[in-house]
Amino acid sequence: MKLFLFCAAAALVAGPVLADGHGGPGDAEKGAREFRACAACHTIVDADGEKLAGRGAKTGPNLYGIIGRTAGTVEEFRYRDGLVDAGEAGLVFTAENLGAYVEDPAGFVREFLGDDSARVTMAKQRVRNIENLIAFLASFSPVE
């Protein structure tokens, strides 16, 4: 319950971020509910080590600051070569492209690289409202 209340409060604070167009048209508060499915593998932990969302899972990388991050670059996380190669080729996650990645990670990376053999660890995700999820994740990303 505390985590939900914290996430809801964080979503309200994210209003200025979303107003700047950083997070897109979604609703961050509703995105907190969408993130529950992501929390099985991912967590959101800030630079001070404070867990902001998730259950402490470490199957996937920390999603703090995902918007604006070069793909495949979280230190101490072992990615498959496809996502690392995409990052080296210039893939930076944005509010616009992260949704396409979440919905079909392998397909997105293969198209980005032009390599049908590129592999990623994350599987396709079914998210009811991708815009809300992206708004939620953007609320934990620095505004540039």
Domains for the chain: give ranges and CATH numbers. 2-138 (1.10.760.10)
Angle in degrees, 0-180, between the axes of helices 130-138 and 2-13, rounded to the nearest 10: 80
pLDDT at site 24? 54
- E strands in 36-141: 43-45, 51-54
CA 55, CA 16: separation in Å to the nearest integer? Answer: 27
Q: Residue 20: exposed, middle, or buried by beta-carbon count in 10 A (0-12, 13-18, 19+)?
A: exposed
Helix (H, G, I), strand (E, B) or coil at 70: strand
Low-confidence stretches of the chain (pLDDT beneath 70): 1-24, 143-144
pLDDT at site 103? 92
| pTM for the structure as a whole | 0.77
pLDDT at site 91? 97
